[in-house]
A and B are shown apart, each in its own frame.
Chain A
Amino acid sequence: MILLTEAGVGQPAKTIAIFGAGLIGEATARALGRHAALCRDIFPLDWSNAERQERQLAALESKLTEALVEAANASPCVDLLWSAGRAGFGAGLGETTHELASFQAVLALAVRLAANSPGARIIFHLISSAGGLFEGQRQVDCRAVAAPRRPYSLLKQRQEELLAAAPIASRVYRLSSVYGFVRPGQRIGLISILLLNGLRHRVTHINGRMSTLRDFVFAEDIADFLARAILVDIALAAHPVILAHGKPTSIWEIQRLIESVIGRRIYLSYSLMPENSEDSTFSPAVLPSGWRPSDLASNIRRIYHEALRSGAAFSQPQR
C-alpha cells in the first residue's frame, strides 16, 4: 500500500492511500508525484493473512486520523484509491471472495474515518472493470446494462454496490483492457506479455480468436486522469465513469503492431474452444470529458524501449 501526503510548510492537507501498488496503483502514485509535491511512504498490508491485515489497517487508520486531526484547520482531505487486483479476469470464486473481504475491510475503515472526522473530505475511488461488467457487448454506451459473466466481474459489481450503499463520497472508474510498462513481479496485461514473449521467442497462448476485439487503455493515461481527479477534484459528468479508448483493436492488429516494433515475428497459439473470445468495444460517446487516451502504436514503442532500457524485458513478470 502506498501512502502519499502533501508536503509543505504547514500541516498536510491532503493524504492519499493507494491500495494495490500494481499496474494502475503504482502508475497513479507516480502521476500524483508529477502533479504535486508529495511525501511517499510504503505501508505494509498483508493480503493473505486476515488477522495481520486487520492490525495493519488499524495502524493505518490511526495514522490517517492523526493526520486529519493535525490538519483540522486546513480543510483536510483523504482520498482512498482501491486499485488492488490480486484476482485477475480468470479468477475463481475463492480468490474473489478473499479479495471482497479485504475490500470490505478498507471500505469500513473509510466509513469510520468519515464518521469520526465530520470536517474532513473523505473520498473513496474504486477501480472497477468495464471489460468485466460489459463482457461481450459492443459499442457500450450510457444505455448499456452491466451483465457480469464470471466471478471477477461479479466481484467488481459487488464492490460497486457496497460502495454505492456506503455513507461516503465515492467515485467509480470502470476500465477496459489495461496495458502498461513492464515492472518485475507485477501483472502487466496482454500487450506487454506479447511484447516480452516476442523478445524472448516464446509462444503466447491466447484464449480468444485472432479477430477478437478489445478496447485497450494505457495505465499511464488512467493514472494521469486519476491524479487530476484526486488533486484537482475534476467534475465528472457520469457516475461511474468508463475509461476506455473508444477504438476497438483486434488481437491480429496488436500482433502486427508488436511485430513492427520489435522487428520480428511473434508466436501465438489460440484456443480451439476460447472462453474469452467475444468482442468488447466501447462507444467514444460514453467517455468522460477530460479523458485523453493516447495512441496504442506509440505506447507499444514506449513500453518496448522502457523494457529494454530498464532491463525489465529480461525479468519475470506476472500475467
Chain B
Amino acid sequence: MNAEKVYLSTVTPVFRGAAYLRQLVAELETVRAGLAQRDIPLELLEAIFVSDGASDDSDEVLAELTAKYSWVRVVHLSRNFGQHPATIGGILHSSGDWVATLDEDLQHHPRFLIPLLARAVAGNEDVVYASAIKVHRSWFRNSSSRLYKALISRLVGNPQIRKFNSFRMLRGSIARAAAAVAAPDSYFDVVLCWFTNRLDALPLPLVDIRSQTRAPSSYDLSSLLRHARRMLISSQIKPLRLGALVGTLALATSIVLSVVTLVLKLLYPERIEVRGWTSLMLVSAFFGGLISVLVVIILEYMSTLLTQAQGKPTFFVVDRSKDRLLHDLLGQQDPG
C-alpha cells in the first residue's frame, strides 16, 4: 500500500437493516470503484458494519456480504446497546484517515461521501455533518428535532449542536480519540466538540426511505428521547452560572440594604414604620443568595469532576498534513 494515500472508512450501525444492506454495500462498491478509476490518492479502505443486536436477518446478510467483499467488515456487539454506542464501537475498529458514519437504510447515501470529504478538506475542517434539506416526511419529527437542538444549543451555549447529524465525515484521529473517551451516557458529538471546533455542515438532499415505505425505523421514539437526554447530560449547562449570578446579586443586594437599614435604624428610627419585616427579608435574601452561590460552586466542582472522569482532554494533537493530497484533486463536488 502506498503511504502517501488517504484512507476512508465507513461505519454503519445495524439494527434492522437486512432489507437495505445489499444495496448499501453495492453503492459503497460504486464509490470505491469510482475512486480507483479516478486514480487519486484516496481509497475506501473498509466498510465497518456494527451489528447492534440486530433483530432481523441482518447478521446473515452481513455474513454473505463479508464473504463477497474483502473490504466489508462486521463487528458484532454482545447485545443491543443503541445507535451511539454502536457507532463508537465501529469507529474504534476503524483505521482510516477519515471516518464516515452513515445509517443502514440509505437515507445517508454513499454518493454524498466524497462531497462531504471535499468540504472537509477544502475548509480544513475536522468534522462535516450532512445538513438535511428535507429528511423525514413527518412534519412533527422534523420540527421537534430542530426545536430541541435549538433549545439545547441555547441552554448549553454550544451553537455547534444545531449541526449535529448522524451522517458525518470525521477526521479519523479525532473520531477515534473521542470514541475512546466517550462514556456510556455521553453524546458522541458533544464529546467530539472537546477535541475540535472545526465543524461544518453541508446541505444535502437526504431521503428517508423508511418513512416513504412506512417501514419501521430502527430507532423509535423512546430511543430518540434517550438521545435527547444524553445530549443534555453530556453538556455543561449554562443556567448554572446564571444561578450563581442571581445568588451573588441577591447576596450583594442584601448586604447593601442591610447597611442602609442599619443606618436608618441608628440615625432615623422614626422612618421605620413596620418593625421586623425588613430584617426578615434581608436575612432571607442574604442566606438565599449565599446558599445559591455555594450550591453553584459545588455543582461546578461536580461538573468539572464529571467531565474529567468522562475524559475531557487537556489537549489533543492533530496532523492535518495529508489534506494537501486531496485539496486540489477533489475540488468542488456537486452534492446533488
Contacts and interface: CB of A to CB of B under 8 A. Distances in A.
Nearest to A145: B1
Interface string A209-251: 1110100000000000000000000000000000000011110
B45 A138 contact: yes
Contacts of A281: 95
B317 to A, nearest CB: 5
A59 interface: no
B173 interface: yes
Nearest to A259: B311
B259 interface: no
Interface in B94-136: 94-96
A204 interface: no
Contact of B317 (A139, A270, A278): A270
Contacts of B71: 139
Given A139-B46, A252-B177, A281-B95, A209 B319 contact: yes
Contacts of A256: 180-181, 311
Contacts of B173: 209-211, 250
B319 A211 contact: yes
B93 interface: yes
Interface of B: 1, 3, 7, 45-46, 70-71, 73, 92-96, 172-173, 176-177, 180-181, 311, 316-319
Interface of A: 136-139, 141, 144, 209-211, 213, 247-250, 252-253, 256-257, 270, 278-279, 281, 283-285
Given A138-B95, A211-B173, A250-B180, 15 more contacts: A136-B3, A139-B45, A139-B71, A139-B95, A209-B317, A250-B173, A253-B92, A253-B177, A257-B180, A270-B317, A278-B3, A279-B95, A283-B70, A283-B73, A284-B73
User: 10 tightest A-B contacts by CB?
Assistant: A211-B173, A253-B180, A281-B95, A248-B95, A252-B177, A137-B1, A256-B180, A138-B95, A250-B176, A247-B93
25 contacts: A138-B7, A138-B96, A209-B173, A209-B319, A210-B317, A211-B177, A211-B318, A211-B319, A247-B92, A248-B93, A248-B95, A250-B176, A250-B180, A252-B177, A252-B180, A252-B316, A253-B176, A253-B180, A256-B311, A281-B95, A283-B46, A283-B70, A284-B73, A285-B70, A285-B73
